[in-house]
Structure 1
Amino acid sequence: MQAPDTPNAAQAGAAPPLSRFGAVLRVTSGNFLEQYDFFLFGFYATFIARTFFPAASEFASLMQTFAVFGAGFLMRPLGAIILGAYIDKVGRRTGLIVTLGIMASGTILIACVPGYATLGMLAPLLVLIGRLLQGFSAGAELGGVSVYLAEMATPGRKGFYTAWQSASQQVAIIVAAALGYILNLLLTPEQTGSWGWRVPFLIGCVIVPFLYILRRSLQETAEFQARRHHPATSEVFRSMLVNWKTVVAGMMMVAMTTTTFYLITVYTPTFGRSVLHLSTADSLVVTFLVGISNFIWLPIGGAVSDRIGRRPLLLFISALAIVTSYPALEWLAHAPSFLRMLTVLLYFSFFFGVYNGAMVAALTEVMPVEVRVAGFSLAYSLATAIFGGFTPAVSTFLIEMTGDKAAPAYWMMFAALCGLVATVVLYRRGGAAELQARLG
């Protein structure tokens, strides 16, 4: 694996704090839109199912909806390779403007498509296309943003800076949950089912121009500008093949964070309503508070990993998730209540925030510098496609097949095991020395 170019520490540290804050805000704006729309799709899954996927049973209808939700994640690896290679070639700024445009197209399509009763089979097909566009864009969005933040970070604070990639997504969760709560108060269930669920999607469309203006004002990173060679797409593909073991191990490391995230955010409203039989308001309040908790823990996890290293944090959280996930979820399922649901999901939020805060920085460090965006994006996208994106569908299936309301914990424990093994592999004696060289 080729050693990275030496970052220009003087340049990285030269920008004033307000300038760096503005850069973080501009680069993470697209992350906000991505997660805002993804969360809405999961939260309004029941209404989307009735609008676009009518079926004989609620289970069948929900499974079709979650399958379309997951299909968007299957496009992520393709977007990671194609758009990730494009970003590694032309630069972070230009590439991230392109990903925002593609993502916005998918959002607008989902918000405006008439239902099955009006368009017949064309309606679910158009929704599927919208999800595929979003997935294709998101495949490189997370990698592009994470690498941008890593390259602009001041020395010794890479974990803290890259944590804001995920933190921006939590703002989207908070905003979406708050909007859902307000609509739940103002509209009847019939109004929400017929047209009210589209309102948050349309609001997402309205903010697209503002996000574009923010991202358009981005400056290219000094590290990318200083690099003498920018690989062609064919070179990126060849390097990805050579480093496939790193990509696979990175995918397994991401599995823990992406599964936990989609379990405690996107799946929570459906789990609360359909499985635990709690009120819609309870589920939304829990999701809102989980978003706040995630936002707090992410930079803490990143900052702590800057002080003690990525490896100890990743191993500790993975092991804790393996041992305690099922007992926590079984305690909730045994006697469902608002307080128990809040307690368990805030506990899982601790898992996600601390682990992800360390993991994102680690993933930018293990990838060869010349294909940093493509490698990061492919590893992240594969994990999201295989684990995170299908977490709502897998959770629904496990509960249906086993009759155990705590069954989603098995999926989370498996993902945590993958994260534990991957951390050991990437940080084995030789790998740890290489990572220290990259950091030092």
Structure 2
Amino acid sequence: MSQPTQRKRLAGDVFRATGGNFLEMYDFMVYGFYAGAIAATMFPSGNEYLSLMLSFVTFGVGFIMRPLGAIVLGSYIDHKGRRKGLILSLSIMAAGVLLIAFTPTYGAIGVTAPILILIGRLLQGFSAGAESGGVSTYLSEIAPKGRRGFFVSWQSASQQVSVMVAAIIGVSLYLSLSAEQVQSWGWRIPFIFGSLLVPFLFYIRRTLQETEEFASREKKKQTPGVKTILVTLGQNWKIIGIAILLVVLTSSMFYLITTYTPTFGERELHLAAIDSYIVSFAVGLSNLIWIPAMGALSDKIGRGKLLLASSTIIGITAYPVMMWLVAAPSFGRLLTALLWFSFLYGSYQGVMVVTLTEMMPANVRATGFSVAYSLAQAIIGGFTPAIATGMIHQFDNTAAPGIWLAMTAVVSLIGAIIAIRSGVVSLGPRREPSTEPVEHQPSNT
């Protein structure tokens, strides 16, 4: 196969793999963007703060299903194949999208409305539990030698496209509808748009080819059963623990600088809604640039250096930057602050995702990645908007989310130090003597 043809095939495989990943994050984004409107129509309580907290808690509850989805769907992916597993996760995800898009309001069906919204979020969380791990595993196994960081980074980069699309729709809604119309029914339009994408995403997922690495193990009858997968995960619990520490920072930071931005900009900074959506678009675009750039850089200089540097700088600057922002809120300051955070997020995330695929034993790569990623998301990420809202309210400090971000940066910095000291992550470029990553055993950690 000629080099141009090879590149075209690989680009097509990346697009088909990340398509469903786009839908997963798109729906998470629009829920967070319109949490206030969903709170008013689905969680009315007579208290604006309480309704918003109920909406954000429902957003976070979906993440609690991620660990279960990681084990069930991750095991399916490791046992049945990357392609089949990604199609299954997309099917469950689509059901959750449709349920949220078309659930009648609380005023129409009463308490059934928030229950259906909750079920939709649980379905999304279950499917998302293995989506990121499955896509990252697929990309790591099709990546050319020496370019794994760049290829795997597109798992996260594709999610940034969803941020941009959701922001564009948000701007369009606020330009074409009144604030009252957006609050009452306009917020459904982004969900309906996501529903319309489902048939196309099914099509591209069905044309996905199985990875050669998995096909080779399947041919040799080396694919593990569920019991073997769970036993192997138990044997590698130290690696799973280190991975969870690494994911903590990205779990909080992503949702803080994307999902939470419109609510923070409107409620706390008292900026126009359209300003927050423009900033969200800029953050998504910035993330899209920095994540693959840093993934590629990590292929050259090593994963460990970037993990240490980015988590340290985030920990030092998070609160001061937030203090500067809230001292004199403006569109310019919000844009500047979040673009700074975006650069640091991209520097960390572009390296972290490929690090997780390299840490995990090959025969349980999808499950191990998914379990670690989903546990951190369930504990930290999904509840970050609620935690940020609660901290602002509790401490009467609009900059309080910066404290939360700094705390999670310290946790992940500790994880990076442990990973480097234990030999799981290298400070220098990773050696790749073969296409099969080294399988770490407990004794090596």
Q: What TM-score range do you get, normalising by the shorter chain? A: over 0.9
Q: Distance in 1 between matches of 2:23 and 2:286?
A: 20
Change (3 A) 1:34 1:431: closer
Given residue 248 of structure 1, which amino acid in structure 2 is its aligned partner? G
**Would you say the 8 A contact 2:45–2:51 is kept in 1?**
yes
Given residue 327 of structure 1, which amino acid in structure 2 is its aligned partner? P
Partner of 1:71: 61
Change (3 A) 1:14 1:84: farther
Q: Distance in 2 between matches of 1:293 and 1:261?
A: 12
Residue 200 (structure 1) aligned to one of 159, 174, 190: 190
Cα offset, 1:149, TM superposition:
0.3
Partner of 1:131: 121
Cα deviation digits, residues 393-430 of structure 1 (max 9, x gap): 00000000001111001111111111111111111154
Cα offset, 1:431, TM superposition:
3.1
Identity of aligned residues (%): 52
Residue 173 (structure 2) aligned to one of 183, 203, 225: 183
Partner of 2:87: 97
Cα offset, 1:243, TM superposition:
1.1
Q: Distance in 2 between matches of 1:186 and 1:14?
A: 44
Partner of 1:359: 352
Q: Distance in 2 between matches of 1:341 and 1:305?
A: 29
Q: State how 1:6-405 maps to structure 2 within 5 Å.
A: 16-227=6-217, 228=220, 229-405=222-398
Q: Distance in 1 between matches of 2:430 and 2:213?
A: 17
Find the residue that maps to 2:424 and give its secondary structure: helix
Cα deviation digits, residues 113-158 of structure 1 (max 9, x gap): 0011111111100000000000000000000000000000000000
Given residue 97 of structure 1, which amino acid in structure 2 is its aligned partner? I
**Would you say the 8 A contact 2:302–2:430 is kept in 1?**
no
Cα offset, 1:439, TM superposition:
3.6
234-243 vs 120-129, which moves further:
234-243
Partner of 2:436: none
Find the residue that maps to 2:146 and give its secondary structure: coil
**Would you say the 8 A contact 1:150–1:162 is kept in 2?**
yes
Stretches of structure 1 lacking an aligned partner (at least 5 in a row): 1-10
Q: Distance in 2 between matches of 1:388 and 1:71?
A: 11
Q: Distance in 2 between matches of 1:84 and 1:281?
A: 39
Cα offset, 1:351, TM superposition:
1.2
**Would you say the 8 A contact 1:276–1:336 is kept in 2?**
yes
| TM-score, normalised relative to structure 2 | 0.94
Residue 415 (structure 2) aligned to one of 414, 422, 438: 422
Q: Distance in 2 between matches of 1:116 and 1:431?
A: 50
**Would you say the 8 A contact 2:261–2:280 is kept in 1?**
yes
**Would you say the 8 A contact 1:365–1:435 is kept in 2?**
no
| TM-score, normalised relative to structure 1 | 0.95
Cα deviation digits, residues 316-365 of structure 1 (max 9, x gap): 00000111100000000111000000000000001111111111110000
Asked whether 1:411 is paired with 2:404, we answer yes
Q: Distance in 2 between matches of 1:306 and 1:430?
A: 17
Partner of 1:8: none
Q: Distance in 2 between matches of 1:436 and 1:372?
A: 21
Find the residue that maps to 1:21 and give its secondary structure: helix
Find the residue that maps to 2:31 and give its secondary structure: helix
Instruction: Report the number of matched residues.
Output: 430
Cα offset, 1:437, TM superposition:
7.5
**Would you say the 8 A contact 2:257–2:342 is kept in 1?**
yes
**Would you say the 8 A contact 1:268–1:283 is kept in 2?**
yes
Q: Distance in 2 between matches of 1:411 and 1:162?
A: 28
Given residue 124 of structure 1, which amino acid in structure 2 is its aligned partner? P
Q: Distance in 1 between matches of 2:365 and 2:335?
A: 37
Cα deviation digits, residues 22-71 of structure 1 (max 9, x gap): 00000000011011110000010010001110013111000000000000
The root-mean-square deviation of aligned C-alpha atoms, in Å, is 1.6
**Would you say the 8 A contact 2:298–2:429 is kept in 1?**
no
Partner of 2:439: none
**Would you say the 8 A contact 2:302–2:429 is kept in 1?**
no
Q: Distance in 2 between matches of 1:65 and 1:433?
A: 41
Q: Distance in 2 between matches of 1:436 and 1:425?
A: 18
Cα offset, 1:15, TM superposition:
6.4
Change (3 A) 1:362 1:290: same
Partner of 1:6: none
**Would you say the 8 A contact 1:310–1:362 is kept in 2?**
yes
Cα deviation digits, residues 301-329 of structure 1 (max 9, x gap): 10010000000000000000111100000
65-74 vs 186-195, which moves further:
186-195
Q: Distance in 2 between matches of 1:15 and 1:356?
A: 30
Find the residue that maps to 1:16 and give its secondary structure: helix
